[in-house]
Structure 1
Amino acid sequence: MPQESSRPAADERFSKRKAPATKERRGEPRKPAAERNERTPENIIFGIHPVREAIEAGTEIEKIYFRKTAGETLSPAERTQVGAANALREQALEADIHIQEVPIEKLNRLTHNGNHQGVAAVIAAIRYKDINELTEELEAQIAQGEAPLVMLMDSVTDIRNFGAIARSAECAGAAALIMPAKNSAPVNAEAIKSSAGALTLIPVCRVGSLKGAITRLKNIGMQCVAATEKSNTLVYEADFTRPTVIVMGAEDRGISRDVLSLCDVQAGIPLMGRIESLNVSAAAAVILFEARRQRFEQA
């Protein structure tokens, strides 16, 4: 008689293995973060007192998240925390720090279920330059006959584009980058990597009002050139040998109307193909190095 094979049948050998049941699947509660050896990212601080101390110490803060409590039923202890958090919110606004309300679940994720008291702050990866200090430095350069070049980004929110623009600006010898405190890509590790480290080399100003920043720069003798495909003037026709602020807008909406109205020149890049526009970082590189070309020829 033929012997029976000890090998499993094909359907048994190739059947999918079931993953072992996790504690969550078995209905057991998940361990606290500390017991799972999870660590809060080093650029996150949380809790009302630590965040307040960071603000008062002048620590560069990218953003502060506050717990969204509207419509929630709060315990007496939570209501006390909300009162303290509201005072901290006012302090943050006075310091021109961007704030955002988020569900408690996001705060729990950011802090790995730490005792955040409804507040968590993201520490900036770089130290921003004060717009007043930058204006004074640029004014001194202009007084000495120099023509500084500044890149201003209006709501460029994509991190890779932001980093690429910073890289091109640094390579082209720009004096600084200016960005809005709201509606802008964060300056974090990914942005620094995308910039090939340029964001740690070129001064970056984060301002509450782009209009206010432009007005300051125009008052010291700088012209503002807006990059827009809607202009009949080409970038090659603009005079970049003067002290200049180049203004780039968001890819989807372009430069905001309020900012555009303050610009002295609107210029576009001629496109010969069927695609209607360049990526904003590519367009920024073209304009920056057109400015550099004109300055080389003048020298």
Structure 2
Amino acid sequence: MINITIEKRVANCYPFFLYFCQMETSEIYGIQPTLEALKSKQTIEKIFVQKNIQNDGLKEIQSIAKDNNIQLSYVPIEKLNKLSKNENHQGVFAKISPIAYVGIEELLESTLAKKENPFFIILDELTDVRNVGAIIRTAECTGVDGIITLKQGGAAINEQTVKTSTGAIFNIPICKVDHIKDALFYMDSYNIQTIAASEKTDQKIYDVNLKKASALIMGSEGKGVSKSALKMAKVKAKLPMLGSTSSLNVSVACGAILYEMVRQRIN
């Protein structure tokens, strides 16, 4: 008999956001529960599979995951034992996202149907979930119309992201793409200005027209916007740095730029 256990954790939100935090994040282990989650189209963030073992159930899980571009990570049994707290994981452990994602075409079509000059944020390989949560919080407060991030290579959307966003994540569409260039191609096709936040330019953000339909690209904590995204971006802009410190935290920098967008649009 297979022992099936599903552990659910509710995000630890502030009291006035409890209404938005009824959605739970789940960690699932065992072959049959994971297959059922995949077949029912649950939004799975990542699947951990034990190294060096194979059976029909694990092969089916891996096949479905690859067909749906779900991240697979092959790990030793010790890692799975730790994730599942030594329960009977059968060589597989999955993390289900606390939110549902929208497709990029759906996001752009639905937004442009309601709004002439939307504003989006593209997160280029950010890895810190707290930075992502803080950006989502500020984005929602400033009227951003959607966040675009990577399916793989970026921070997971998990309970820590929900907590840091203080529930704002439930009020703004989140989209995942295979590659940042995919998002930039879509932006170009919809005539949306793409702006890379980068120190590798002389142009200040205050000189950029943020009243236009725009997508702001924020780069990773260590490397900034990737070379390929910098090359494709229509505009490069920076915040002036007047002290001896060379850079801002990415979520702080994003907030400063978003409030310049608000200032321009209010005026």
Same-fold call, TM > 0.5?
Answer: yes
Equivalent positions of 1:90-105 (< 5 A) are: 90-105=63-78
Deviations 1:7-45 (A, max 9, x none): xxxxxxxxxxxxxxxxxxxxxxxxxxx9xxxx8632111
Equivalent positions of 1:50-65 (< 5 A) are: 50-65=33-48
The one of 49, 58, 67 aligned to 2:50: 67
Structure showing greater radius of gyration is 1
Q: Are 2:148 and 2:177, in contact at CA under 8 Å, matched by a contact in 1?
A: yes
**Residue number in structure 2 paired with 1:11:** none
The one of 180, 190, 195 aligned to 2:160: 190
CA distance in 1, matches of 2:30, 2:62: 13
Q: Are 1:147 and 1:244, in contact at CA under 8 Å, matched by a contact in 2?
A: yes
Q: Identify which range, 227-236 or 40-49, moves more after superposition.
A: 40-49
* Partner secondary structure for residue 283 of structure 1: helix
Amino acid at match of 2:63: E
**Residue number in structure 2 paired with 1:126:** 99
Q: Are 1:240 and 1:295, in contact at CA under 8 Å, matched by a contact in 2?
A: yes
1:45 and 2:28 equivalent? yes
The one of 110, 114, 129 aligned to 1:159: 129
Amino acid at match of 1:260: L
CA distance in 2, matches of 1:84, 1:41: 21
Q: Are 1:40 and 1:111, in contact at CA under 8 Å, matched by a contact in 2?
A: no
TM-score normalised to structure 2 length? 0.88
Determine what percentage of the aligned residue pairs are the same residue: 37
Q: CA RMSD in A?
A: 1.6
Consecutive unaligned residues of structure 1, counting only runs of 5 or more, are 1-33, 70-77
* Partner secondary structure for residue 7 of structure 2: coil
Tell me which protein shows more strand as a share of its residues.
2
Consecutive unaligned residues of structure 2, counting only runs of 5 or more, are 9-25
Aligned length: 247
Amino acid at match of 1:88: I
The one of 243, 246, 249 aligned to 2:213: 243
Q: Are 2:137 and 2:168, in contact at CA under 8 Å, matched by a contact in 1?
A: yes
Residue 125 (structure 1) shift:
1.1
The one of 102, 119, 140 aligned to 2:113: 140
**Residue number in structure 2 paired with 1:262:** 232
CA distance in 1, matches of 2:184, 2:172: 19
TM-score normalised to structure 1 length? 0.79
**Residue number in structure 2 paired with 1:221:** 191
**Residue number in structure 1 paired with 2:11:** none
